[in-house]
């Protein structure tokens, strides 16, 4: 158990809908990262937050947004869902301070999103 | 600028050795290695930092050639538990970009 929690575990929804994925980092970790992993694909970096502020952005679609709250939990919002958005979405956390680079990341169990 | 890993897949018998390579076209601050078992989340193995500092696993070793922007992961005397997909992650500008993955299967 990495100490990172993600809810829900599974999500099935229709095209055009909007969903919110939730992540709670390990105690003491300030950075949260979101990744997308499609079937048999690698991990695509979406976005990183550090202590409530956006720190780095990857290949995140405009239909997707995220935020990190004062209690450090994070939410990833996916809207106008398309079939191609079906994937496993991982959240990871790390101690992470700016200027040091990327620390080791601890991944949550993931949320499997199926868009029908 | 996704790093490229080779080989794509490796099949081993218990006790055999393997090397997984990771190559980037960009200058790197560090290289990270993770292992993901089927249906599970990736698990941190190791970080190699510019300048030679290394943190990680006691049964798996790795090297980082900063000039060539390459890293190699060495798995010696493989065990069944080593099976999974290995990802390298290359860091530049506060982002970790994961490689294409190497699937390793260890059989008895």
Strands A87-94 and A106-107: antiparallel
Residues 7-66 of A with CB under 8 A from B: 33, 35, 42-45, 48, 55-56, 58
Q: Which two tokens stand for residue A83?
A: 């079939």
DSSP string of A12-61? EE-TT--EEEEEEPPTT--EEEEEEE-TT--PEEEEEEETTEEEEE-S--
| Residue owning tokens 């106008």 | A80
Cβ contact B29–A109 (<8 Å): no
- pLDDT tens-digit profile of B19-57? 999 999 887 778 999 999 998 999 999 888 876 666 666
User: How many Cβ atoms sit within 10 Å of the Cβ of residue A94?
Assistant: 22
Give the residue among A29, A8, A23, A25 at the shortest CA–CA distance from A96.
Answer: A29
- pLDDT tens-digit profile of B41-99? 999 998 888 766 666 666 788 888 888 889 999 998 899 999 999 999 988 777 788 99
Kindly give the confidence (pLDDT) of every residue in chain A, 116 residues in length, as a single tens digit, with 9 standing for 90 and above: 889 999 999 999 999 999 999 999 999 999 999 999 997 678 999 999 999 999 889 989 999 999 999 999 999 999 999 999 999 999 999 987 555 567 889 999 999 999 99
Question: Which of B44, B55, B101 minimises the CB distance to A42?
Answer: B101
Rg (CA), chain A: 13
Q: What mean pLDDT do residues B2-29 have?
A: 92
pLDDT for position A101: 64
Whether the CB of A73 is below 8 Å from some CB of chain B: the reply is: no
Task: Please give, rounded to a whole number of angstroms, the shortest distance from the CA of A50 to a CA of chain B.
Answer: 11
């Amino acid at each position: 158990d990495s100490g990172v929690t993600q809810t829900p575990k599974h999500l099935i929804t229709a095209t055009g809908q909007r969903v919110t994925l939730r992540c709670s980092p390990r105690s003491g970790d300030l950075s949260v990262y979101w990744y997308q992993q499609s079937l048999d694909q690698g991990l695509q970096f979406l976005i990183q937050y550090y202590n409530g502020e956006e720190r780095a952005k990857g290949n995140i679609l405009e239909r997707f947004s995220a935020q990190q709250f004062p209690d450090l939990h994070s939410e990833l919002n996916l809207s106008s869902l398309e079939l191609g958005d079906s994937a496993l979405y991982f959240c990871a956390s790390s101690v992470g301070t700016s200027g040091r680079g990327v620390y080791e990341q601890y991944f949550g169990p993931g949320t499997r999103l199926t868009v029908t | 600028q996704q790093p490229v890993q080779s080989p794509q897949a490796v099949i081993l018998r218990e006790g055999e050795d393997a090397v997984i390579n990771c190559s980037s076209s960009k200058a790197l601050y560090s290289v990270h290695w993770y292992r993901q078992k089927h249906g599970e989340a990736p698990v941190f193995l190791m970080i190699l930092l510019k300048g030679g500092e290394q943190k990680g696993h006691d049964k798996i070793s790795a090297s980082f050639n900063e000039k060539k922007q390459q890293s190699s992961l060495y798995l010696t005397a493989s065990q069944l538990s080593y099976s999974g997909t290995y990802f390298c992650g290359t860091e530049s500008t506060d982002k970790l970009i994961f490689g294409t993955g190497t699937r390793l299967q260890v059989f008895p």
